[in-house]
Amino acid sequence: MSPVVSYALHGNIGVISVDNAPVNALSHAVRSGIAEALTAAYSDASQAVIISCAGRTFIAGADITEFGKPPQEPSLPDLLEQLDNHPKITVAALHGTALGGGFETALSCNYRIALASAKVGLPEVKLGLLPGAGGTQRVPRLAGVEGAISLMTTGNPINAKKAAELSLVDRVVNGDDLVAQAVAYAEELVAANAPQKQARTAQITLTDSDRAMLNQQRTQLLKKTRGETAPQRIIDCIEAAAELGFEEGLRRERELFMECMADPQSAAMRHMFFAERAAAKINSLPKDTPIVDIQRVGIIGAGTMGGGIAMCFAQVGIHVTLVDMSEDAVKAGLDKIAKNYAISVSRGRFSEAQVASIMANITPSSSYQDLAEVDLVIEAVFENLAVKQEVFKTLDGICKPCAILASNTSYQNIDEIAAATSRPSSVLGMHFFSPANVMKLLEVVRGAESSDSIIATAMTVSKKIGKVPVLSGMCYGFIGNRMLRPYSREAALCLMEGATPAQIDGAMERWGMAMGPMAVGDLAGLDIGYKAREQLTEEQKGEPASYLVADRLVEAGRLGQKSGAGYYQYDPETRRRMDDPAVMEIVAATCAELGINRRTISDEEIVDRLTLALANEGAKILEDGIAQRASDIDVVYCYGYGFPRFKGGPMHNLEAVGIPRAVARMEEFASKLSAQNWQTAKTLQELSTNGGKLADV
């Protein structure tokens, strides 16, 4: 028998048990082990066969590490064909998360029993794929078209109760011993002479309203999942389920699955799956590094950022003391949080009772003295070094000695902040992204003296509050905002050299960015960059062409969306952006002043300049040891800056384009545009000649 699959008779019931930690993925060994066990069950005394799993979950899908490697028999479709045609009653016993190929295995059994705590789902779309082992054909037959669309195009799992409502699960049970309950269920089925139900035989016809819904979903998905191929192919498969019959539908599914698998989008999204998990790991951290149990958090600053951070902690049951200068300021902050939750309640995300218990976790205060007992303080005050140093000095005098002191700064030097305290080893950066209760990224910034323990604690607590943490070393702007500077510089230069805000944003958005750089500037507020520049020397600011237009917009009161105008005008009702000739007048005047002759710029040039500027700076960040690995940079950009996951982040995209090609294009920019701006990172030059990979840097 296989080392990862066992088979034994429990009375007259055969029990197959998969034990392939951590998530029982369907590796070759698992597939062949199940196939062998099914074969053994043909001729033994079993009257029914159960597929169950040891460990924390039922099979969580195909083994993603095998994708792109030569196929090994039996394939999953072959195995499921064997399962579907098995002469004995088959039952899947589900616990944990039955996902992807795992759930498709369960759907190929005659019956499914699940613990109430189990979840089932088809998350392939998150990997740029569609369910490729019958899921697209069986789910619509069992759950109907609407349920199938939702399950497969969102990729989000549903709980066992909901799955039972959709006829995807036959029995939901509570208790510990799932296998014993599954055996009892199988015995019951045998005793009742229950039929061998097969999803394949269920009737499916598309009503006119189903057709209308499919068309509507197709259109909505074009907008919601802009640029992604897999969601559209999933709709194709659901249509095939209704129109082609089961066998033909399966063939169509296979064809489209292979097409998606060969698409660079899937390679990018699979890269992101592993990148996200790698980012949480800190290289060379001793295994026994102590992790502080964070039970009480203090947040200083009840503005938008502080309030959003407070929500993250309060939602997972961690008590927050939210401090601001005055009772009025903290009350205003609390009101804003309550308003945010009222919107969530109206959208059905939380119940009134849940919100009440979350709000009860937040205590408002206007006194730093109330932070004496907290385990972690996060400062989210005005972005000014002297102000932050003052706050940390005060905290140092009040907080208990083991408390961790974090700054949510976007740019300031953590070491200079730490130097204001007597405990620099307890100081680090925890850089949230706005809106902090929504954005998944959290940069954990290590100062020169930050201890291993506080870094490990910050990574752990970040995951607890649902964030994707990435470790960054200390430099101006850390990973994300440091890369944003050359990206914004190139956007501003394209504007000066010949483009319009709409052309730049349009080119980047069609390429895949969630929002173009000009629109992002308007959303964040152009005054933020303006104030940051005020603290820089002329040399640090860079060439005037890269910021003068932004300065002039701010000086004209155009701060972005909040003032109704920035690079665009905004409709006060809908916030729709509209071109504004006044902006182009400012651009023209600034060009005249700087002696810049405008020319026609292609969308391709815009995309190349902006994406290569990002990746080149990313490579320098790697060289400087600011990021642990290239894939961490991809995580930062996909989770914090709207970089499309289906391009896999700026570093993955660079490799997909081809490093030698990218380097050649940068050299072209260096000779035609600016040698100063286009100094190719040494690492990229080396990889370009030696054919190496960024993952090995």
Token pair belonging to 296: 């009480």
The one segment of 20-28, 465-473, 621-629, 639-647 that binds ligand 3HC by CB under 6 A: 20-28
Could you tell me the smallest distance in angstroms from the CB atom of residue 257 to ligand 3HC?
A: 7
The shares of helix, strand and coil residues in the chain, as percent rounded to the nearest 5, are: 55, 10, 35
Cα 629 to Cα 623: distance, rounded to the nearest angstrom: 10
Could you tell me the smallest distance in angstroms from the CB atom of residue 484 to ligand 3HC?
A: 28
Binding marks (x or -) toward ligand 3HC, 240..279, rule CB under 6 A? Answer: ----------------------------------x--x--
Q: Is 71 in the site for ligand 3HC (CB under 6 A)?
A: no
Cβ pair 232, 221 in contact under 8 A: yes
Could you tell me the smallest distance in angstroms from the CB atom of residue 146 to ligand 3HC?
A: 21
Residues 6 or more apart whose CB falls under 8 angstroms from that of 586 comprise 549, 552, 553, 556
Residues 6 or more apart whose CB falls under 8 angstroms from that of 441 comprise 433, 467, 468, 470, 480, 635, 636, 639, 640
Could you tell me the smallest distance in angstroms from the CB atom of residue 638 to ligand 3HC?
A: 16
Q: Which of 110, 108, 18 is nearest to 63 (CA)?
A: 18
Residue 305 burial (CB count, 10 A):
21
Q: Which of 600, 370, 374, 363 is nearest to 498 (CA)?
A: 600
Using CA atoms of 329, 478, 471, 525 in order, give the dihedral in degrees to the nearest 10.
40
Could you tell me the smallest distance in angstroms from the CB atom of residue 156 to ligand 3HC?
A: 11
The one segment of 56-64, 493-501, 563-571, 663-671 that binds ligand 3HC by CB under 6 A: 56-64
Among positions 528-567, residues that touch ligand 3HC (CB under 6 A) are none
For the packed helices 659-672 and 682-690, what is the interaxial angle rounded to 10 degrees? 130
Name the one residue in this structure whose structure tokens are 């000779």. 671
Could you tell me the smallest distance in angstroms from the CB atom of residue 155 to ligand 3HC?
A: 8
Interface residue with ligand 3HC among 94, 98, 99, 553 (CB under 6 A) is 99
Cα 488 to Cα 477: distance, rounded to the nearest angstrom: 13
Cα 374 to Cα 294: distance, rounded to the nearest angstrom: 8
Residue 99 burial (CB count, 10 A):
24
**Residue 483: what residue type?**
M
Q: Which is nearer to ligand 3HC, 42 or 274 (CB)?
A: 274
Catalytic, out of 95, 271, 431, 652: 431
Interface residue with ligand 3HC among 63, 253, 551, 634 (CB under 6 A) is 63
Q: Is 97 in the site for ligand 3HC (CB under 6 A)?
A: yes
Interface residue with ligand 3HC among 33, 61, 333, 498 (CB under 6 A) is 61
The one segment of 129-137, 298-306, 523-531, 607-615 that binds ligand 3HC by CB under 6 A: 129-137
Cα 78 to Cα 100: distance, rounded to the nearest angstrom: 16
Token pair belonging to 83: 């399962």
Instruction: Let me know if 431 is a catalytic residue.
Output: yes
Q: Which is nearer to ligand 3HC, 127 or 234 (CB)?
A: 127
Could you tell me the smallest distance in angstroms from the CB atom of residue 121 to ligand 3HC?
A: 8
First to last CA, the chain: 41
Q: Is 463 in the site for ligand 3HC (CB under 6 A)?
A: no
Q: Is 60 in the site for ligand 3HC (CB under 6 A)?
A: yes
- Mode of pairing for the β-strands spanning 427-432 and 441-445: antiparallel
Cα 5 to Cα 24: distance, rounded to the nearest angstrom: 10
Task: Please give the biggest Cα pair distance in the chain.
Answer: 91
Q: Is 134 in the site for ligand 3HC (CB under 6 A)?
A: no
Interface residue with ligand 3HC among 131, 231, 298, 477 (CB under 6 A) is 131
Q: Which is nearer to ligand 3HC, 64 or 657 (CB)?
A: 64
φ, ψ for residue 97, nearest 5 deg? -125, 110
For the packed helices 548-555 and 581-594, what is the interaxial angle rounded to 10 degrees? 130
The one segment of 22-30, 161-169, 221-229, 381-389 that binds ligand 3HC by CB under 6 A: 22-30
Interface residue with ligand 3HC among 14, 33, 101, 650 (CB under 6 A) is 101
Token pair belonging to 5: 């699959």
How many residues bind ligand 3HC (CB under 6 A)? The answer is 25
Could you tell me the smallest distance in angstroms from the CB atom of residue 456 to ligand 3HC?
A: 16
The one segment of 54-62, 197-205, 293-301, 532-540 that binds ligand 3HC by CB under 6 A: 54-62
**Residue 68: what residue type?**
G
The one segment of 125-133, 355-363, 538-546, 657-665 that binds ligand 3HC by CB under 6 A: 125-133
Residues 6 or more apart whose CB falls under 8 angstroms from that of 575 comprise 561
**Residue 421: what residue type?**
T
Q: Which is nearer to ligand 3HC, 88 or 95 (CB)?
A: 95
Ramachandran assignment for 128, one of left (phi > 0), alpha (psi -120 to 50 degrees), beta (any other): left
Interface residue with ligand 3HC among 39, 65, 201, 602 (CB under 6 A) is 65
Name the one residue in this structure whose structure tokens are 């003295």. 369
Q: Is 175 in the site for ligand 3HC (CB under 6 A)?
A: no
Could you tell me the smallest distance in angstroms from the CB atom of residue 65 to ligand 3HC?
A: 5
Interface residue with ligand 3HC among 84, 124, 324, 379 (CB under 6 A) is 124
Interface residue with ligand 3HC among 14, 123, 512, 618 (CB under 6 A) is 123
Q: Is 23 in the site for ligand 3HC (CB under 6 A)?
A: yes
Q: For binding to ligand 3HC (CB under 6 A), which residues are involved?
A: 22-23, 25, 60-65, 76, 97, 99-101, 104, 123-124, 127, 129, 131-133, 135, 274, 277
Q: What are the residue numbers of the active site?
A: 431
